Copies of this chain bind each other. A is one copy, B any other.
Amino acid sequence: MPKKVVKAAANTYYFQYPALATIVTVRSAEKDNAISIAWHMTVSREPPYYAISVAPSRYSHRMLLESGEFVVNFVPFEKHELVAGIGGCSGSNTDKVALFGLRGEQGSEVGALVLDDAYAAYECRVVGRHTYGDHDVFIAEIVAFHYDPDLFTSAGIVDVGKLKPNVFLGEDRYTRPASEEPVLVSRGAAARAARERKA
Report A's interface with B, CB cutoff 8 A: 1-7, 9-20, 36, 38-51, 53, 72, 74, 80-82, 84-89, 94, 98-100, 104-105, 108-109, 114-116, 118-122, 127-128, 130, 132-135, 137, 139, 142-150, 152, 155-158, 160, 164-165, 167, 169-180, 182-195, 198
Contact = CB atoms under 8 A, between A and B. Distances in A.
A177 B177 contact: yes
Contacts of A120: 2, 15-16
B87 A187 contact: yes
B13 A114 contact: no
Contacts of A167: 18, 177
A139 B51 CA distance: 12
A25 to B, nearest CB: 12
B74 A16 contact: yes
